[in-house]
Structure 1
């Protein structure tokens, strides 16, 4: 069996290691971020001293936003299949701008697509606009998380408009942000996927070529050429989520007009005071308030209610105003019982919300 090597999680180092492994002459690797705590999690999940148990080109560590970080084994074929299917959907290969960390799947796949296209990626620095100007390829692409898109709409709108397509992933794209992007003339394509699916595998509700999507009592199942090979040294967990070629995600969804709509996570429905509350629906309603810039809704254990619905909000509306706003379209029992106002939502390096830090705001 092959050994696994650790490489620095910088764009140049990851691109070099990735190019070699995609060419078939390199050895499997795991990119390691510079942050000591994050690096320790990678070393623990990747276990470089242990033999590799599956077909693997890269081991990526999940962000741990919803639990313990896991080492995800991605094969050369899965990486190439994802890059090829993405280019096919977008209209052909192009040059990519990298504004994301390459040790997460979104950033890694920007580099993979660059290698497959044979065009050098451009790494975004302090100025997104200046980086976009350095793109010279026949088609211009990038990918980012919703928070980045919202920021660049304020600061780098002309640069955003210059791209043939911008893939938005890593977290759900709020409806107001989608509308704002469209009105501004920005081609932003919401993508659904995760590390285990080799990055986004469903674009604007439609699976990429080679990917199939099904529902099992509302749970999203994914099958296809981009799936991971397994979890590093976690055979029981691998067997639990990979069944008959289908990956059982932790997300719920529904089909609307033939397109997949992601509703939220399986555990996003909480019981508060004996009432089932769907947290993403409450969050979406809060984001419709004209003075709410961003919001996250969590369920917090509570001795009186069982689970207390808490909203973390960027904006100036007070608790009663937001409760009334939610109750205009949803049951009043769904309205958040606590509202925590913040200047900014804490983010992980992957671009996902740091839920643990939010919970610390309540202590």
Structure 2
């Protein structure tokens, strides 16, 4: 702990040789303080206390955050910089800073902000920020945090895990705009003097980054579940000092596979935006027990987990919606306490249905939900085991759903079993790595077909799309003889391209667009995408066994 800086003092004094960023070049602490000072002066010149921060780069974000704090501002962290998100915040804040869309006002730092030698340690009680959690419905909820809460949590992380990390570089797949990434990729590294690396979006980027100096990885369950075995993970073996996962439950299968590929057992963090970190477990074996982080107390009252910690706003017991049981080492989670629904006046436990589905050997993950409507009905979203996934691609979905229904019939009658099914490669997640109810509901009225990627390269991609009659794009086009409208084909091409290519945000124009053949429900379309960075243009083409359907070029800027 000799190199430790309290969070309140991170932007107060420089330490020779203390690194901040690992890419593209190491940035020493003195240079970082100059950036903080430039932001402090920029914020101090502005009226109003509340400012939204959004940055793609974690180090620029950190400098702006501490600059805002030292100017007495309260920082709001949004999960993305989409105009709809910013518009929702506009009435609550006084301005915006960072990487904003074209045409959106954005504060920038002053070039000559001084060295910041006059900055005093921050007041842990008065210094605040606001983060957002989607909760279980997907609707953003604002959570205010004092620097006191963040500082105690960072200290707890260092006390629990710091001894084995040393000067490891901090790599991550998660955004610093949410509480998990903020703590693990920004605040903890700054306090501990560890270098912060650029975010790794794809597994290929991860392998290249982790093959360098000793490092630690901050990931989500979604990323750890999707590590391609064919990549050269041998280059990573022995270089990773820790792997962290949070934002949702990490399945045992994914945890053990990640341990085998990465050479380090994942450490899972349990908590929430409201509570901060509560407990941790390390996947050195099957189903480890949760152990409280330093300074966190816990108890179980009526099977409900209650916690008290310095990460909470008050020194009081906080009652969770998680059911738990104690064992000799810590506690085990048993599922949510509030997932009881009524179907035709019968009480049904969604947890019980999910547990029974997971007992089936052909099921890897499962979520059960209540579909809204005049007659409530249950639906299930299932991630098949690898052995079943291949058969589903050859029209085996109906037979699979019948087998699962028969399996559930041992404990549930026809009324209390799912009536609708969706089989997916992975559960949908938001930017926080959480599977929300709104995302699951969207699968039963999808805006987009599920893509089957066949090629993903820096400038080329190919995918296959099965046109299901239930796609929302067919609504109103046309009753009795549905066809896929051209505007949907353009929208899909751009959306899928943004999943692969780093494209500018602003649409400029369409060029050479041709619609040659209608596409109908049941068609299987082949979509080819080509990104031309020198022209800032996306070239797309749809084909099927019937021939070409549509093609064109979309130009972007900004």
Offset at 1:312? 0.9
- From 434, 455, 458, the equivalent of 1:352 is 434
Distance 1:189 1:271, change over 3 A: farther
What residue is the counterpart of 1:97 in the other structure? 171
For residues 55 and 300 of structure 2, the distance between their equivalents in structure 1, rounded to whole angstroms, comes to 36
Offset at 1:43? 4.8
* The 10-residue stretch of structure 1 (70-79 or 353-362) with the greater mean CA deviation from structure 2: 353-362
Work out whether 1:13 is the aligned partner of 2:60.
Answer: yes
Distance 1:67 1:149, change over 3 A: closer
Distance 1:5 1:21, change over 3 A: closer
Summarize deviations over 1:168-211 as a string: whole Å, max 9, x none.
Answer: 2111122333344455554112221011123x321021110111
Distance 1:87 1:298, change over 3 A: same
Offset at 1:290? 4.4
Distance 1:43 1:99, change over 3 A: farther
Distance 1:224 1:323, change over 3 A: same
For residues 182 and 98 of structure 1, the distance between their equivalents in structure 2, rounded to whole angstroms, comes to 16
What residue is the counterpart of 1:238 in the other structure? none
What residue is the counterpart of 2:382 in the other structure? 313
Distance 1:288 1:194, change over 3 A: same
Work out whether 1:116 is the aligned partner of 2:194.
Answer: no
Query: Which aligned pairs between 1:68-79 and structure 2 lie closer than 5 A?
Result: 68-79=139-150
Distance 1:354 1:179, change over 3 A: same
The total of aligned residue pairs comes to 334
What residue is the counterpart of 1:3 in the other structure? 49
Contact 2:278 2:292 in 1 (8 A): yes
For residues 323 and 257 of structure 1, the distance between their equivalents in structure 2, rounded to whole angstroms, comes to 38
What residue is the counterpart of 2:38 in the other structure? none
Distance 1:83 1:339, change over 3 A: same
SS at 2:305 equivalent: strand
For residues 327 and 90 of structure 1, the distance between their equivalents in structure 2, rounded to whole angstroms, comes to 46
What residue is the counterpart of 1:225 in the other structure? 310
For residues 170 and 269 of structure 2, the distance between their equivalents in structure 1, rounded to whole angstroms, comes to 16
What residue is the counterpart of 1:187 in the other structure? 265
What residue is the counterpart of 1:34 in the other structure? 81
Contact 2:222 2:429 in 1 (8 A): no
SS at 2:229 equivalent: helix
- Return the structure number with greater relative CO, CA threshold 8 A, min gap 6: 1
What residue is the counterpart of 1:173 in the other structure? 250
What residue is the counterpart of 2:225 in the other structure? 150
Summarize deviations over 1:7-44 as a string: whole Å, max 9, x none.
Answer: 2232233221344578x676431233222233344556
The structure with the largest alpha-carbon Rg is: 2
For residues 348 and 329 of structure 2, the distance between their equivalents in structure 1, rounded to whole angstroms, comes to 26
- From 349, 362, 377, the equivalent of 1:278 is 349
Unaligned runs of at least 5 residues, structure 1: 230-241
Offset at 1:77? 2.1
Work out whether 1:216 is the aligned partner of 2:301.
Answer: yes
Distance 1:74 1:189, change over 3 A: same
For residues 87 and 356 of structure 2, the distance between their equivalents in structure 1, rounded to whole angstroms, comes to 39
Distance 1:214 1:38, change over 3 A: farther
For residues 442 and 265 of structure 2, the distance between their equivalents in structure 1, rounded to whole angstroms, comes to 37
Offset at 1:270? 2.5
Distance 1:319 1:355, change over 3 A: same
SS at 1:347 equivalent: coil
RMSD (CA atoms) = 3.1
Contact 1:17 1:29 in 2 (8 A): no
For normalisation by structure 1, the TM-score amounts to 0.79
Distance 1:277 1:88, change over 3 A: farther
Query: Which aligned pairs between 1:205-354 and structure 2 lie closer than 5 A?
Result: 205-227=290-312, 229=313, 245-272=316-343, 275-301=346-372, 307-315=376-384, 316=392, 318-326=400-408, 331-333=411-413, 335-354=417-436
Runs of 4+ in 1 over 6 A off after TM superposition: none
Distance 1:301 1:257, change over 3 A: farther
Offset at 1:57? 2.6
Offset at 1:107? 0.9
